Structure 1
Amino acid sequence: MAQIIETQVVVIGGGVTGTGVLRDLAIRGIKAVLVEQEDLGYGTSTRNHGLLHSGSRYVVKDKDAAEEAYRENLILKKILPGVIEETGGIYVKVPEDDDDYVKQWVKANKEIGIPIEEIPVSQALEEEPYLNRKIEAAFRTPDGSIDPFMTLVDVVGDAVSRGAKVLTYHKVVGMITKQNKITGVIVRNHYTGEETEIYADMVINAAGPWAGKVAELAGIPLQMINNKGMLVVFNRRFHKQGLFRLRKPGDAEIFVPGHNVSLFGTTGINTDDPDDTSLDRQEMEGMLAEGMMLVPSIHELRIIRAFSGNRPLYQESADADPTGRNVTRGLALLDHQKRDGVEGFITITGGKLTTFRYMAEVTVDLALEKLGISVPCTSHEEIVPHREANEFFKEVEMAPAAKHKLRNWAGPRAKAIESELKKEETNAVICECEQVTWAEVQSVIPEEGHFNIGDIRCRTRLGMGPCQGTFCNYRVAAIAVEKGVTTSEHADQALRDAINERKKGIGVAATGETAKQLQLMETIYRVSLGLREEEEQHV
């Protein structure tokens, strides 16, 4: 017999849009449950370059999206102090780019009110020595860097602290309907197969690339464009600011610094499958060749992995632009009662990571209007609890780099981590690249749930450094078994999943030192630990 949950609103999708909606509902005192088929950020929200847009990239072709981005840029810098780095950005014109477009771009920024500043080419080259020495113009913009992983964790944490509930690894498999109204959803536990019926007054579809699939369950046609973009990660942070090519938005023109690495991309290819995150070596090489226009020495820099994600773009027309570049990056809020005659169901899609809070605001405004509830939005004023925890770890003896990281990452888990760090067996760093201790790992493993190294990685950066988990993945699995956190069978499966995921991203970029790293990883896991190829194929 299925379990039953009753609430006011169900939010489908645990990406940044869905979690933003959940937080907005919680702030306004609305009971809400979020359901996600995998872990938080499984889709687009963690498969991007982590750019906090200033709006400048879209000022010429999409002024509405540009205005939204700049406004939200300022708001997020205020309410998310723990996950944003105000790096600034530099847009540069290379000789091959159009002079007229530069003039249009400058004029459009001024009209919208985005503060840009032209700086001498010599100054730009001094600040960012990897830039093309032949650049002809440079402009400073208020872009930034945002950590999408920690954004999700912090936003959800704030929502849960206000009474919201989250069910990860629960896939929506059906809609509960009464005549022409959606009255709830049926979700299935990924691990146990158990089903739960969740009854609600309103269902909000924030499933990103899967929004069309969710709408199908309600019998509603929804034309989505899943635009797959590829990115690469360099092993170090070789520039201080975001670097952008000053031309009509296209492929391979964005470099974003994040933590200790730099990210570069992207491409744009439409795909019919929202789960398609495939990687192609030829696509990457084409992207790198184009990137030489900004950073000529790009092939001399070490790439540690590549990855891809799907942008959920919406348009009413069935004739999709094959590159997705001409489809608006603005949000699409669909009232399915007006559009399709189905009550109790709303879809929010499109938009950017930078505009997720605003997307949540307009979505909740519409939902509450339909529910006859009047509560103003204050999410633009409510600060998400800061992750910095300088008052802790004063008496703990540990590596300075690990302590520095924890001061900025521990947040509400600080006291529990500090208590564990005083124990010698939990003090040791198990991921040298990212300075992750067992105490930190232990703090993010759910008391009830499946042991998943990928979920740990997203919350601690375990395995995100140059070795890509070659050493820390087996360490964390072994310690988890030793401490009774999981069984050897579950740890073995978690280890296979983690290594397969890392190898996928390393393999497409495997040349030079990265090829050696992949060979070392395969030697350790296949030879030393006996993780065989035939077993990996069945994961």
Structure 2
Amino acid sequence: MRKMIETQVIVVGGGATGAGVLRDLAVRGIKAILVEQRDLGHGTSSRNHGLLHSGARYAVRDEEAAIESYRENMIIKKTIPGSVEQTGGLFAKVPEDDDAYVQKWVKACEKVGIPVSNIPLEKAFKDEPYLNKNIQSVYSVPDGSIDCFTLVVDVVADAVSRGARALTYHEVIDVIRETNRVTGVIVRNRYSGEETEIHGDIVINAAGPWGAKMAEMAGISLHLINNKGMLAVLNHRFNKQVINRLRLPGDADIFVPAHNVTIFGTTGINVDDPNDFSLNRQELEEMIEEGLALIPDLKEMRLIRAFSGSRPLYQESSVADDSGRSVTRGIALLDHQKRDGVDGFMTITGGKLTTFRFMAEKTVDMVCEKMNMSTKCTTDEEVVPHREASNFFKEVDMAPAAKTKLFHWAGTKATKIEQSLKEKQMDRTVICECEQVTWAEIESTLTKDGHFNLGDIRRRTRLGMGPCQGTFCSFRAAAVAVEKGVATSDEVSWALNDALHERKKGMAVVATGETAKQAQLMDAIYNVSLRLKEGDEQHV
């Protein structure tokens, strides 16, 4: 017999948009549950540049998206400071691009209120020495870098602290519909197989690229373009600021600094399956060739992995755009009562990571209207609780990189980490040397009813995100987990296989030079020394 849960609003999708909707509902006092088929931020929200857009990229072609992006850029910097690095950004014009576009772009930015400033080339080359010395003009904009992982986790954690619930690894297998009204969803636990009925007044479809499938279960036709983009990660951070190519948005024209690495991309290919995270070597090589226009030394830099994810682009027409580039990045908020005659069901899609909070605001405004509530949104002012560093982090004997990271810790687990470091010497042990992740950080992500999943730990701590891609820290984390009794040997064997499968997939497409050697070393350690049987992954 299925379990039954009652609530007011059900949010489907644990990416940035769903997280923002859950928090906005909780802030306004509306009872809500979020369901996510895998981990928080597993989909599109962690498969992107991590760019906090200034809006300048869209100023010429999509004025509304540009305005929204700039406004939300300012709000996010103020309300979620722990997940944002205010790097600033540059737009650089290379000789082969259209001269006339530059002035058109400057005027478009001025029109929508995005501050741009012409930078002397001498200063630009001094600040960013890897820039192509043939660049003809450079402009600064207020771009930034977002830690997508901490943002989603912290926003959901804040919602939960206000009374909301979040069920990860719960896949929606059906939508409960009575005549012309949706009244809930049926979810299945991907680990246990247990099914649960969740009933509510309103179901919000915030499933991103999976939104069309979700709508189909409710008997609704929804046309989404799944525009898959490929990105690559360089093993060091060579740029201080975001570097954009000054032209109409295209492939391979952005370099975003992120922690200790730089993320480069992206491409745009329409795919049918939102679960298509495939990687193609030729696509990567074409992307690198295009990127040389901005960074001539790109081929000499080491790539440690590649990854891909789909942008959910909405358009009413069933005739898809060839590339997805000309489809608006604006917000699509659909009331299916008005659109399709189905009450109790809404879809929020499109937009950008940068505009997730505004997307949530407009969605919950509609919820309040349907529930005859007049409570206003305050997420543009209320700060997601972040950690102010105590003197302890200045005094404790830790590696400098680890100390710096915790000093600026944004997560809600910082107090627990600090307490562990004070009381337990072993918890100071650095498990991941590349990213200086301690056992205390790993342990803070584990819950009593959770599963030991290295991918989930990685998204919360950056374990295995450095040049070795988890070659050494994965088995260290697994060994300590067994030693401390937080996981069994069978559980960590599954976790190792699952994590290494994903790491090797991203490494394989860039595997030349040092990265090829790293992949061979990973195989030697896990398949030869540890005798893990590759192919036994039990993917959830």
The TM-score bracket by the shorter chain reads over 0.9
Local SS of the residue matching 1:232: strand
Contact 1:201 1:344 in 2 (8 A): yes
- Show CA shifts across 1:106-157 (max 9, x none): 1101111110001112221111111111011111111111110010111011
Contact 1:396 1:418 in 2 (8 A): no
C-alpha displacement of 1:395:
5.4
Residue range with higher mean Cα deviation, 525-534 or 277-286? 525-534
Q: Does 1:20 align with 2:20?
A: yes
Provide the rounded CA distance (Å) in 1 between the counterparts of 2:300 and 2:388.
36
Partner residue in 1 for 2:132: 132
Provide the rounded CA distance (Å) in 2 between the counterparts of 1:434 and 1:224.
37
Local SS of the residue matching 1:412: coil
Structure 1 residues 171 and 94, CA gap change in structure 2 (3 angstroms) = same
Local SS of the residue matching 2:412: helix
Partner residue in 1 for 2:322: 322
Provide the rounded CA distance (Å) in 2 between the counterparts of 1:424 and 1:303.
36
Partner residue in 2 for 1:264: 264
Q: How does 1:438-517 map to 2 (within 5 A)?
A: 438-517=439-518
Local SS of the residue matching 2:82: coil
Provide the rounded CA distance (Å) in 2 between the counterparts of 1:433 and 1:94.
35
Provide the rounded CA distance (Å) in 1 between the counterparts of 2:14 and 2:415.
27
Q: Return the letter of the residue paired with 1:276.
A: D
Partner residue in 1 for 2:303: 303
Partner residue in 2 for 1:525: 526
- Show CA shifts across 1:139-185 (max 9, x none): 11111111100101110111111111000000111111222100111
Contact 1:392 1:414 in 2 (8 A): no
Q: Return the letter of the residue paired with 2:511.
A: A
Q: Return the letter of the residue paired with 2:429.
A: A
Local SS of the residue matching 1:82: helix
Provide the rounded CA distance (Å) in 1 between the counterparts of 2:193 and 2:59.
48
Alignment TM-score, normalising by the size of structure 1? 0.98
Q: Does 1:85 align with 2:93?
A: no
Local SS of the residue matching 2:81: coil
Query: Could you say what the CA RMSD is over the residues aligned between the two structures, in angstroms?
Result: 1.3
C-alpha displacement of 1:478:
1.2
C-alpha displacement of 1:538:
8.6
Q: How does 1:237-252 map to 2 (within 5 A)?
A: 237-252=237-252
Provide the rounded CA distance (Å) in 1 between the counterparts of 2:410 and 2:92.
37
C-alpha displacement of 1:423:
1.5
Residue range with higher mean Cα deviation, 368-377 or 7-16? 368-377
Alignment TM-score, normalising by the size of structure 2? 0.98
Contact 1:389 1:411 in 2 (8 A): no
Partner residue in 2 for 1:398: 398
Contact 1:496 1:536 in 2 (8 A): yes
Contact 1:410 1:417 in 2 (8 A): no
Contact 2:154 2:412 in 1 (8 A): no
Q: What are the ranges of 5 or more consecutive residues in structure 2 without an aligned counterpart?
A: none
Residue range with higher mean Cα deviation, 482-491 or 232-241? 482-491
Q: Return the letter of the residue paired with 2:79.
A: I
Provide the rounded CA distance (Å) in 2 between the counterparts of 1:420 and 1:115.
45
Provide the rounded CA distance (Å) in 2 between the counterparts of 1:381 and 1:132.
40
Partner residue in 2 for 1:217: 217
Partner residue in 2 for 1:290: 290
Partner residue in 1 for 2:340: 340
- Show CA shifts across 1:468-490 (max 9, x none): 10000011111111111111111
Structure 1 residues 148 and 411, CA gap change in structure 2 (3 angstroms) = closer
Local SS of the residue matching 2:226: strand
C-alpha displacement of 1:255:
0.4
Provide the rounded CA distance (Å) in 1 between the counterparts of 2:539 and 2:363.
41
Identity of aligned residues (%): 66
Contact 2:242 2:254 in 1 (8 A): yes
Contact 1:469 1:502 in 2 (8 A): yes
Provide the rounded CA distance (Å) in 1 between the counterparts of 2:415 and 2:265.
39
Provide the rounded CA distance (Å) in 2 between the counterparts of 1:387 and 1:279.
37
Q: Return the letter of the residue paired with 1:516.
A: K
